[in-house]
Structure 1
Amino acid sequence: MTEMVTPGDVLGNAAELKPGKGAYVNDNTIYASLTGSRHIVSPLPDSLDQRATVEVTGHKAHGLIPEPGSLVLARVTKVMARMASVDILCVGSKAVREKFAGVIRQQDVRETEIDKVEIHQSFRPGDIVRAMVVSFF
């Protein structure tokens, strides 16, 4: 049976297991460093350290996911009166594997004089923008 884990999940005790790919040790506890399946790999018969290795195999199709606070690069796809639709291309400096859509709302363009922001003068389809993810909806 494979167990799905996420970063920070406890995988075991470092006295009984050793960390492999996708795992790290902190205070004698082994934690997952990525999202994926937890696996125990038996030691080789001639190995000096006879502890089994615990590792996390990441989901191949799963790449970076934008989350609140992430800096993203996005391409404007549609401009409307009060918002612009975007497709997120990168999270930080890494390209995303899956398609993520976003919206830049009129009130998120600048902090002051929000009512004076004209989206059509700020964005055009095809523009590449750097933005911070504020929330999911």
Structure 2
Amino acid sequence: MSPMKLCVPGERLCSTEDCIPGAGTYLRHGYVFASLAGYVLRRNEGEELPVISVVKETEAQLLPDVGAIVTCKVTSINPRYAKVHIIYVGSTPLKDHFRGTIRKEDVRATEKDKVETYKSFRPGDIVLAKVISLGDVQSNYLLTTAENELGVVVAHSEAGVQMVPISWCEMQCPSTHSKEFRKVARVQPQYLQA
């Protein structure tokens, strides 16, 4: 990632012919200006022109990037994919939630054709995943759990109790002893939050 340019409020960033104004900017006389002090971010989000925005220093590094390990919460599932909200990049919490998708073919590295989404994730599960594509305005970040270290790290049973992993594909409720299928992550110590 290239070093980001610092700017001050009122600084002219570009012409509206070169970019689209985003957060932390305003338009005046055909130019985009910074409305706050921070770092200039330029992102192609599927449009013809890049979106230019200004973020504060603490937010500057908090965009999920390809290859980043992210922690996300499953919001919905269907037979083709699981929808998630990305809540952490590495160990840093995000102020804004980014939407992500884990497609059926990106759940596991082997036997991809046998993957069943509802046997891998359930709404409310906390999942460790890796960003494989940034997506655009219409779509979400594409994520994968196709590594042993990636997958469900926290899941609750129907009784509301946090389940414990008993294999790479099952978790068990400690109170009811009922078992549920999941794509279980073999969590590495560096990903555990204190």
Q: TM-score range by the shorter chain?
A: 0.5 to 0.7
Higher alpha-carbon Rg: 1
Q: Between the two structures, name the one with larger relative contact order (CA 8 Å, sep ≥ 6).
A: 1
Q: How many residues align?
A: 91
TM-score of the superposition, structure 1-length normalised? 0.59
- Two-structure CA RMSD over aligned residues (Å): 2.4
Structure 1 residue aligned with 2:92? 94
Residue 76 in structure 1 maps to residue 46 in structure 2: no
1:20-58 CA-partner distances (Å, limit 9, x unpaired)? xxxxxxxxxxxxxx453169xxxxxxxxxxxxxxxx844
Structure 2 residue aligned with 1:128? 126
Pairing of 1:13-92 with structure 2 (within 5 A):
34=4, 36-37=6-7, 57-58=38-39, 59-60=55-56, 62-63=59-60, 64-92=62-90
* Alignment partners' CA distance in 2, 1:95 and 1:62: 10
Q: What SS is found at the alignment partner of 1:107?
A: helix
* Alignment partners' CA distance in 1, 2:8 and 2:66: 27
Structure 2 regions of 5+ residues with no counterpart? Answer: 10-36, 40-54, 136-194
Pairing of 1:6-17 with structure 2 (within 5 A):
7-8=2-3
Give, in angstroms, the shift of residue 62 of structure 1.
3.5
* Alignment partners' CA distance in 1, 2:112 and 2:94: 31
* Alignment partners' CA distance in 1, 2:88 and 2:121: 19
TM-score of the superposition, structure 2-length normalised? 0.43
1:58-95 CA-partner distances (Å, limit 9, x unpaired)? 43384400011000000000001010000000000001
Question: Relative to 1, partners in 2 of residues 1:80 and 1:35: Cα closer, same or farther, differing over 3 Å?
Answer: farther
Question: Relative to 1, partners in 2 of residues 1:35 and 1:62: Cα closer, same or farther, differing over 3 Å?
Answer: farther
Identical amino acids, percent of aligned pairs: 42
* Alignment partners' CA distance in 1, 2:67 and 2:133: 8
Give, in angstroms, the shift of residue 99 of structure 1.
1.9
Aligned partners of 1:72 and 1:132 also within 8 Å: yes
Structure 1 regions of 5+ residues with no counterpart? Answer: 1-5, 9-33, 40-55
Give, in angstroms, the shift of residue 112 of structure 1.
1.2
- Between Structure 1 and Structure 2, the one with more strand by share is 1
